[in-house]
Structure 1
Amino acid sequence: MSRRTTVPEQPPRPVSLGSCILYGCGAGLLGVAAMTTGEKIEQYFTGRPSSYVPGHTLERLLSLPARPDSERFGLNMAMHYGQGTAAAIIRALMSANGIRGPFSDFMFISVRLVIDQTLENVTGVGAPPWTWPVSEQIIDILHKAVFAFVTGYFTDRWLQG
């Protein structure tokens, strides 16, 4: 019986940084679209209101005057999709370098959460996740998992060695 190794027999073909950026951004847009769709479905059933924390985070990062949530939909979507596309470049680099599959997607959930929490907390908009109700923590992780798995699916397919 032959033993299966995790070391590839041949090194993966080199993928340019530009390709990782391009494909990562594309996969990130698809991942955020899937995550947003999942959030809207979840909110329909749970009655949980939309979060405008991303919009207010971008508001602070750009030193814009504080405005109510109702005036921050555009900033909210810009931050939501912008963070997703930027984070997905990391996942594309992972895929291009042979770090693929479900285990990589699980690792990437943490990457996305770290990016979100760092920006939200450094701007003073968010609160550390351990201060949230457990139900909110679970919901956030599940939505980030959808993002990570969809993004990973596309980067793994598009950037195969």
Structure 2
Amino acid sequence: MSRRTTIPEQPPRPSSLGSCIIYGCGAGLLGVAVMTIGEKIEQYFTGRPNSYVPGHTLERLLRLPVRPDSERFGLNMAMHYGQGAAAGMIRAFMSAYGVRGPFADFMFVAIRLMIDQTLENVTGVGALPWTWPVNEQVIDILHKGVFAFVTGYFTDRWLQG
């Protein structure tokens, strides 16, 4: 009869820091792409308009002059995908060091929400999430969940020990 130890095994180290960065960015970009498709499907059925908060957040971070939403599509996409790639690197490090699977994905939902909310509220663009209508909170968490699970799926597969 084998005994299960209470001391966890040290997971193998990833091949390199560069691997985590590259695979994390790639997985994050794939996660954002799938999340965006889901958002577009949801918007088709709910009639919810596009959000330009990411674009205006980047506008503030870069200290650009304030422009209307119609002129911020490029900044919106840059921030949307840039945040996904940056967050994907965090998830890659989680995968590389043994924090994997659905539990890691649930933790990663909170990490992604934290990144968004910190940037949006530090720049004064966003509102605190608990001031949002409940349906918008649920929609945002669901979409970030899609991002987290897709990103996690790829990082877990690509960075297996």
Question: TM-score, normalised to structure 2's length?
Answer: 0.95
Counterpart for residue 46 of structure 1: 46
SS at match of 1:28: helix
| Change in 2 beyond 3 A, CA 1:11/1:91 | closer
SS at match of 2:15: coil
Q: 2:34 matched to 1:34?
A: yes
- Specify every segment of 5 or more residues in structure 1 that has no aligned partner in the other structure, as ranges: none
Counterpart for residue 94 of structure 2: 94
Q: Aligned partners of 1:140 and 1:4: how far apart in 2?
A: 40
Q: Deviations over 1:79-126 (max 9, x none)?
A: 000000001100000000000000000000000000000000000000
CA RMSD of aligned residues (A): 1.5
Q: 2:127 matched to 1:127?
A: yes
The answer to whether the 8 Å contact 2:120/2:126 transfers is yes
Q: Aligned partners of 2:11 and 2:68: how far apart in 1?
A: 52
Counterpart for residue 149 of structure 1: 149
Q: Deviations over 1:118-151 (max 9, x none)?
A: 0000000000000000000000000000000000
Give the count of matched residue pairs. Answer: 160
Counterpart for residue 68 of structure 2: 68
Q: Aligned partners of 1:91 and 1:11: how far apart in 2?
A: 15
Q: Aligned-pair distance for 1:16?
A: 1.2
Question: TM-score, normalised to structure 1's length?
Answer: 0.95
Whichever residue aligns with residue 73 of structure 1, its letter is F
Whichever residue aligns with residue 15 of structure 1, its letter is S
Whichever residue aligns with residue 84 of structure 1, its letter is G
| Change in 2 beyond 3 A, CA 1:19/1:139 | same
Runs of 4+ in 1 over 4 A off after TM superposition: 1-6
Q: Aligned partners of 2:59 and 2:11: how far apart in 1?
A: 44
